A and B are shown apart, each in its own frame.
Chain A
Amino acid sequence: MDLKRVKDYIYWLYYQYLLISCSYVLEPWERSMFHMIIITVVAMVMYTAYVFVPIHVRLAFEFFSQMFGSQPESTVLLMN
C-alpha cells in the first residue's frame, strides 16, 4: 500500500524530470544518452565532493580556529 504510493511518487518525479529537462520529447537512444550524461556529471560531482570537501572543511576549520580560537589565549597570557 505505502510502497505503491512511494513508487507512484518516484514515477511522478521521474516524469517531472523528463518534462523539465525536455528529454520527454527525445528519441529513446537520445534519452538514454542524455541520462548517461546527466548521471556521469552528477556522479563526478558527488565523487569530487566526497574526495575534496572533507579536506577543505578540515583546512578551513584549522584556519578559523587559529584565527579565533588560539588568539585570545595568547593575548591573555601576554597581559599577565
Chain B
Amino acid sequence: MKRGPENLGGQPRANGCSFSKHGAGGGLKNGYVRGSAGADTHSQIHRIVHNGGLYKRPFNEAFEETPMLVAVLTYVGYGVLTLFGYLRDFLRYWKIEKCHHATDREEQLDFVPLYQDFENFYTRNLYMRIRDSWNRPICSVPGARVDMMERVSHDYNWTFKYTGKVIKDVINMGSYNYLGYTQNTGPFSEAASKVLSQYGVGVCSTRQEMGNLDKHEELETLVARFLGVESAMAYGMGFATNSMNIPALVGKGCLILSDELNHASLVLGARLSGATIRIFKHNNMQSLEKLLKDAIVYGQPRTHRPWKKILIVVEGVYSMEGSIVRLPEVIALKKKYKSYLYLDEAHSIGALGPSGRGVVDYFGLNPEDVDVMMGTFTKSFGAAGGYIGGKKELIDYLRVHSHSAVYATSLSPPVVEQIIASIKCIMGEDGTTIGKQRIQQLSENTRYFRRRLKEMGFIIYGNEDSPIIPLMLYMPAKIGAFGREMLKRHIAVVVVGFPATPIIESRARFCLSAAHTKEILDIALKELDEVGDLLQIKYSRHRLVPLLDRPFDETTYEETED
C-alpha cells in the first residue's frame, strides 16, 4: 500500500479543493477551500447545502430519542426476565428441572467456567424464549416473496419440529436483495448454468496456483471499470475479504481508526493485523478529527515515533443503524491529515447512487479519493464473495500478500458469471435499461417505505436514502411478539436483539428490494400499521435529537466566501 506523495503532499490539491495545515499558507483558511484555476469540474462540491458545503445533496439522517417511559419499561422488562432467569438457573443447578443448554462437565468443574458469563445467561434465559423468530428455514428463492417451512416447538423453543407444511408466498422484508438479482429463472441464471456446464463448479485451488481462470480476470476488469478504479481483485468470501486484507495492509506500528459500529469482519481484521486500534463515535467527524490530531501530535505511545500508516476504516451503509457514512467529510479529513481510507461498501454497492456504484457515487465523489474500496457480491448482485478495488500497486501488492488470495480457493465460475451478468445489467451493457430501472425502483421504494412508516408514527433510524430501515421495538417481549404477529400476517421480518444492538435498542430491520412492487409494500405497510397498533410500538413523538455531535455554528472545514 504505497502511494506517492505527489497526490497528497506538496501541492495539496485534489478533487477541486485544496487543503492546508493549521495556520500555514497565510491567506488560506484551515481546511476546506476552493481550488484555484486548475480545479476542474468537481468544484461545484462547493455549493453550500449542508455542513461545510461538502455535500452535493441534503443529508438527512435522524435518530429519534428513546422516550423515557419506554426506556424505563424496557429495563423493567429485562429485570423481570433476569429474575426469572436466575430462578430457572437455580432450579437447573439443583436438578429440579432438566438443563437443555450446554453445561460444564463434571470432570471439568475446577477449570475456568465456560457458561457463566452474561452472554450465556442471556442465550439460556432470554434469547431461548423468543428463538422462534430467528433462523427460520426457507424453501424457495428469497426474492420479493419467499416460502417458509412451518415449524413448532413443544418444549418452549429448545427444539423445533417441522410440521411438513410450507407457508407459501410470505412477503420477504429481510433479505439483502437490494436490486432483486436473487432469481432462479431468467437470463442471469441461464448464463450461470451455461458457465456451469462449461467450467464446472470450481477448481479447488487458490488464485495463486491453478485456480486462476479467465472468468476471474474478466470479473476483475469489469469490477474495476464498474467502480472507476485502476484495478480490482475478487475473493470467494466477503467476510474474509475484510478480515484477511486489513492484516495485509497494516501491521505493528500502524494505527487503525475504526467506527464504533463497524461490522465484525472489520473488527476481526483490525485485531488480527496487530495494529493499534482506536474507535471513534459513530459517524462523528469531530471525534474522528480529534483522534487524527492526537495520533499525529503524540505519535505512538511511549516511543512517540510517528505512526507508520493511519488507516480510517468506515462502512458505506451501516447495517444496524441504516446510516450512511459522511464520506465527503471523511475524505476531507483523510486528505487533511494524510491518512488512508478503507471503505467497506458491503451494503451500499448497488444499493446507493444514481448509477448504483455505491456511496462514492451517491455523494458524487471521485473513487480515486478512497484508497481501498471493499465490497461484497453477496447483497446487491445475488451471488457470493467480495472484492477490493483501488490503485494498481495496491491490488498487485494484495495479490501477493493477502491470505485470501494465497490460501482460499478461487470463486466458483457460475457464481462469477452471475456477478458479471448482474454488474453488466446495472451498467446497462446488456443492452437493456433493467439495471437503471431497478436502481430507481429501489430508491423510490426506500423513500416511500420510510415516509409511510414515519407518518404512521414508528421510530425509524438512519438516512432517508438507506434501503436498510431499522424500526425500533425496544421491549424484549415485543421482539418475539412482532416476529410472530408479522409471520401470522405472512410477512417475514428480521428482528435484532442484544448482542447485535445495545441491550435497550432492540429493533426490527427491513431491507427493501427493487423486487418489491408498490402493491407488496402497501400490503406490508397495512399489516405493519395493524401490528403497530396491536403492540403499541408507534413510539415516535416526532421529536428529533438535535445532533449534539455537530455544532451548527462551527464547522471543521471552513469555506471561503465566494
Contacts and interface: CB of A to CB of B under 8 A. Distances in A.
Contacts of A25: 81, 129-130, 476-477, 480
Contact of B80 (A15, A16, A21, A27): A21
Contacts of B77: 20-22
5 contacts: A19-B481, A21-B76, A22-B78, A24-B480, A25-B130
Interface in B156-183: 156
B80 A19 contact: no
Contacts of A15: 534
A47 interface: no
Contacts of A18: 477
Interface residues of B, number: 20
Contacts of A26: 84, 129
B536 A16 contact: yes
A34 B85 CA distance: 13
A26 B156 CA distance: 9
Interface string A9-33: 0000001101111111111001000
Contacts, number: 43
B277 to A, nearest CB: 37
B334 interface: no
Given A16-B536, A19-B535, A24 B477 contact: yes
B481 A24 contact: yes
Contacts of A27: 156
A22 B535 contact: no
B478 interface: yes
Given A23-B477, A25-B477, 14 more contacts: A15-B534, A18-B477, A19-B475, A19-B477, A19-B478, A19-B481, A20-B77, A21-B80, A22-B476, A23-B80, A24-B481, A25-B480, A27-B156, A34-B84
Interface residues of A, number: 14
B477 A20 contact: yes
Contacts of B475: 19-20, 22
B434 interface: no
Contacts of B534: 15
A15 B481 CA distance: 11
A22 B81 contact: yes
B196 to A, nearest CB: 46
B156 A22 contact: no
Contacts of A20: 73, 76-77, 475, 477
Nearest to B77: A22
Contacts of A21: 76-77, 80, 477
A36 B27 CA distance: 76
Nearest to A12: B534
A70 B84 CA distance: 56
Contacts of B480: 24-25
A68 to B, nearest CB: 38
Given A16-B536, A21-B76, A21-B77, A30 B84 contact: yes
A32 to B, nearest CB: 12
Interface centre among A16, A18, A24, A30 (most CB of B within 10 A): A24
